[in-house]
Structure 1
Amino acid sequence: MGNITALYEQVYRSLKNEILDGIYKPGDRIPSEKELTDSFKISRITSKKALEKLVEEGIVYRQQGKGTFVSQYIEVNKISPTTSYRKPLFGLIVTNFDDSYSSKLISSIEIASEEQCLIILKQSFGLPEKEEKIIKEFLEFGVDGMIIYPAQAEHFSSEILKMVVNKFPFVLIDRSFKGVAATAISTDNVHAAKLGINYLFELGMKKSVFCHPKL
């Protein structure tokens, strides 16, 4: 995921380069969210995030009911097209914080993200409706991507499908949904089971018993 440039980032850079090249001068109105949506064939959320990033950097400003304009007092020659003023912000959704798997997962992600990005952590308690609400909140807050441990193993929420359609960057943990082109990371359960059985045999056990919630 780290090698993929988010769509909003591409739109942001395109607009920033046009401002640097003088195509849009101080005081000029730049394309609106709708115009960017139509021009780049992207979602309204994506175009909104691109404009918000330009506003955050002081490159443009917004006037209610009029549009978005290039800042009057901006020193264009001092702006770098690749300048970033904040670390990437990712939303992490897990079912709960209590079990050892989730705890280790959260700890590993926190260690891997240190000094590289910021993480917002929420738990869905295994409730699909809670998961959908959190995803909406993350999108409205403007996260750059999400890491999701889905509430359900076999069914995905409509919000996950929307992110697939809008090509919003996210990764599913330990889940993959048939027919949904979403990036997923999971353990190799078959290989893990073989390692576990071999370990038991090495300890001298002659018989083994499997416990599974669906058996």
Structure 2
Amino acid sequence: MEENQPIYKQVHQYILKQIKQNVWKPGDKIPTEKELMEQFDVSRITISTALANLSKEGWISRIQGKGSYVLDKRPDEQENTDEPADIAVPMHNVGNGGFIGVIMLSMEDYFSIRLFKGITDAIMADGDRRLVMMQSYNSPEREADAIRDMLRKGAEGLIIFPADTGSYSEEVLRLKLQRFPLVIIDRYLMGVETHYIGSDGVAGAQKAVSHLYDLGHRDIAICSDSPLSLTSVEQRIQGYMKELKERGELINPALMLTDFYVVYDEPELDLEHPLCRYIRNGMATAYITINGKLALHMIRIARQLNLEVPRDFSLVTFDNPMPSREFAFFTYIDQREYEVGKRAAGALLDLLNKQARGQPAEFVKMFIEPDLVAGESTAALGDTKRRHL
């Protein structure tokens, strides 16, 4: 490095040298801004300037909240297209008879079954590829293992339902940086642009609140035992607040029940659990649960407390926890998961087809409009007897 150069250029050249000499390989995370500040004894703005220039030149990708990563395709190797370097579609070998990999959280609920059926139907209709599915059981470690296993076996592309961590694993980030054909379903990570298909959580929550409000309920609580950092949860909280504000209601933080954890397989309920206490004390006349599993748990709580739904409180849930609409006791937000799965598979197939033709592809982010399906778990406020035990 030339000593008379500006310091940010010296930092720039140092990082560039590490990349060109393969000290830092494609997909590797480079040192953090803080580490580089300490190494060069310079200010954050100096390091930030150097990294910004490297990103603009196409050597690294900067991901908010995660750090900076070496890109797979170097600037001098990239094709001359109008697309930014980090959007170019990868030129992997694609041949007939390959397989699509799908990583699900689990197949233990009807939501996942319907979602996977949509994926399966779309892939089978294509007729040219096999489908391989693995389950992460909501474990980031298992998810990472499944991704590596799929890649070793020669997957052409992946559809991933990410684990409940609020951020992608390093393996998912590596896939993005290497421009591997990838579609994320149900939830996405802010600041990380990937192909994404999911239901519109804001609209779904608004419909849930609107339904209960029209039935006369004003003390409407929303319940989630999932991380608030998940975009799917964040959207539903946003929709809940948005609809109440549009109705002229003040937001009561006490009605946003998010700071709790549920052990679903415990043989006996803990009646001192925050959710049990809340229901027992009659703090709300209606509840919206973030998923069907939590709704079933609340029915269990109600029975333990000698309460009935909707006599003592109304209940709306995201997802139908039953096999079909014909068996629906719950009023629920139909996220049209079959359609989500079908469109996710279609988006991945389109990616692969464009890749085979050498065509660029823009990122697709699709939000599918959900429906509210009225069932027996909601009733007008006059028919709901508020109880304080």
Q: Same fold (TM over 0.5)?
A: yes
TM-score by length of 1: 0.57
The secondary structure found in structure 2 opposite 1:155 is: coil
**Corresponding residue for 2:195?**
183
CA distance in 1, matches of 2:192, 2:148: 19
CA distance in 2, matches of 1:166, 1:197: 42
Contact 1:153–1:175 (Cα < 8 Å) also in 2: no
**Corresponding residue for 2:164?**
152
**Corresponding residue for 1:206?**
217
Change (3 A) 1:147 1:85: closer
| Superposition misfits of 4+ residues, deviation over 3 angstroms | 37-42
Cα distance, 1:112 vs structure 2: 2.1
- 1:193 counterpart (191, 197, 205): 205
Contact 1:148–1:171 (Cα < 8 Å) also in 2: yes
Cα distance, 1:200 vs structure 2: 3.2
CA distance in 1, matches of 2:216, 2:133: 42
Change (3 A) 1:111 1:177: same
Identity %: 26
Cα distance, 1:122 vs structure 2: 0.6
CA distance in 2, matches of 1:130, 1:119: 19
Paired amino acid for 1:193: A
The secondary structure found in structure 2 opposite 1:184 is: strand
CA distance in 1, matches of 2:115, 2:147: 19
Render the CA deviation track for 1:78-111: whole Å, top value 9, x for unaligned.
Answer: xxxxxx642x521000111002221121111112
1:89 aligns with 2:117: no
Root mean square deviation of aligned Cα: 2.7
* Structure with more relative contact order (C-alpha pairs < 8 Å, separation 6 or more): 2
Contact 2:101–2:133 (Cα < 8 Å) also in 1: yes
CA distance in 2, matches of 1:209, 1:178: 26
CA distance in 2, matches of 1:168, 1:115: 23
Greater C-alpha Rg: 2
The secondary structure found in structure 2 opposite 1:144 is: strand
Which aligned pairs between 1:46-195 and structure 2 lie closer than 5 A?
A: 50=93, 85-86=96-97, 88-116=98-126, 117-195=129-207
Paired amino acid for 2:195: T
Structure 1: stretches of 5+ with no match in the other structure:
1-36, 54-83
CA distance in 2, matches of 1:179, 1:195: 27
Cα distance, 1:194 vs structure 2: 1.3
Contact 2:140–2:169 (Cα < 8 Å) also in 1: yes
TM-score by length of 2: 0.33
CA distance in 1, matches of 2:188, 2:112: 18
